[in-house]
Structure 1
């Protein structure tokens, strides 16, 4: 009886289930972040979108604007999905990562991507060079991403 109770409160970890739940959460969270950005856009003064810069650096034809935009959207959604999948895997082995209902995850992702990797790769401005409004928008929309990713991940993981 004690062993059964332990299994109910401590389910077996599954990296695959965690990845799937996180991937679904990441996709839906990317949609939520995109929607939030439509109400509170991060770039309103002509700043370039990091995903468009990424596509250009990967060799997209700059003359085909519609193709470039579609590829940039693909990069945006793929990054959100993969970040969610990685989060789901980590949540399986280190559940503390889900603290604050995913807000910590969203803020960490923002720090890693927008304040670290993207500027280091020359894909966006350094945080000190960004306008305060852009910084606030990135923070708010990443909080939305984290909250939605965790909420969906938790529901999907329980269903698996």
Structure 2
């Protein structure tokens, strides 16, 4: 019998690296700048085409000036003069355009479909939702049917220009920001300093808790330690041993006669733990830097936490509640930092196929 043809499966698409906080913030900034620029272009366009469209049917000042007047009355109780009202209307125009652009830029990072038709979709949406619905409902304009067809065409044409310019400028700025970010990929980032520093501070409180947390993260989600001198931390048994040591430290810490953490042996152990934790949580190429920061953080954390514990214990008249609170702070902080480091490593690994294909 003929054998059925073997089904060939296409390789799964690589999961893109999504640093949501950075991407959305950069997108919002690019969109806001683009929205401001588009507002200026929109003003110029309206000045040019007003004789052609001859918008009419409303009478009275524009909705932006009425909005500025309303804000002035609500804020100070005073009405604006003609000159101030016109300036206020321009300010409202630019503020609305900038905010709209910022929201559009942020949304484009998580829903790229909003950029379809090179911004014309944004223009259509803005004209419909703002001019045709929101402005009349707010009492700043008459109902849409009270305006002539030319006025509606004028409004839609103006917003299509706004959308097109917003998307054009946003795209250029976003590509530029992405290029700068790629060029700075090897530079020292806030994560490279803050994560090992905070792990070190936690190590100043408890010697074994941060190393146990990063080891458990390495054995679980992974910290990219394969092929490095720290690959032993990928073993679940290393995590078990360090976890047991951390629990033992919690118990011994409550016993009388334990040497102070600021004694030379105590500080040495904490510095080694901080260096280990920082290096394990670091991104590739930054392990030595993170180890140094982690060790320094552990030394500082040892002194700071010792002084704070002594002061709080004297104030409360009891040491044990402070000790338990310190246990919880070190445990929760270490777990959160180790989890964050594992998440960042997962994002980096997901982005590697894209870099290779680029």
TM over 0.5: same fold? yes
Out of 125, 136, 140, the position equivalent to 1:108 is 125
- Alignment deviations for residues 104-156 of structure 1 (CA, whole Å, 9 cap, x no partner): 00110111100110000011121111111110000111100000000000000
Shift of 1:94: 0.2
For structure 2, the residue ranges without an aligned partner over 5 or more in a row are 1-13, 178-358
Q: 1:125 and 1:101 mapped to 2: Cα distance?
A: 31
Provide, for residues 58-108 of structure 1, a one-character-per-residue CA deviation record: whole Å limited to 9, x for no partner. Answer: 21524x211111111101100000000000000000000000000000110
Equivalent residue for 1:48, pick from 50, 58, 61: 61
Task: Structure 1: state its 5+ residue gaps.
Answer: 1-5
Whether the aligned pair in 2 keeps the contact of 1:48 and 1:124 (CA below 8 Å) is no
1:86-125 to 2 correspondences below 5 Å: 86-125=103-142
Q: What's the C-alpha RMSD, in Å, of the aligned pairs? A: 2.2
Q: Distance in 2 between matches of 1:71 and 1:32?
A: 18
2:28 is matched with: 19
Give the paired residue count. 155
Larger gyration radius, structure 1 or structure 2: 2
* Equivalent pair of 1:98/1:104 in contact (CA under 8 Å): yes
Residue 43 of structure 1: how far off its partner (Å): 4.0
Match of 2:148 in 1: 131
Query: Relative CO higher for 1 or 2, CA cutoff 8 Å, sep ≥ 6?
Result: 1
Partner of 1:3 in structure 2?
A: none
Distance 1:19 1:44 in 2: 35
The residue number in structure 1 matching 2:215 is none
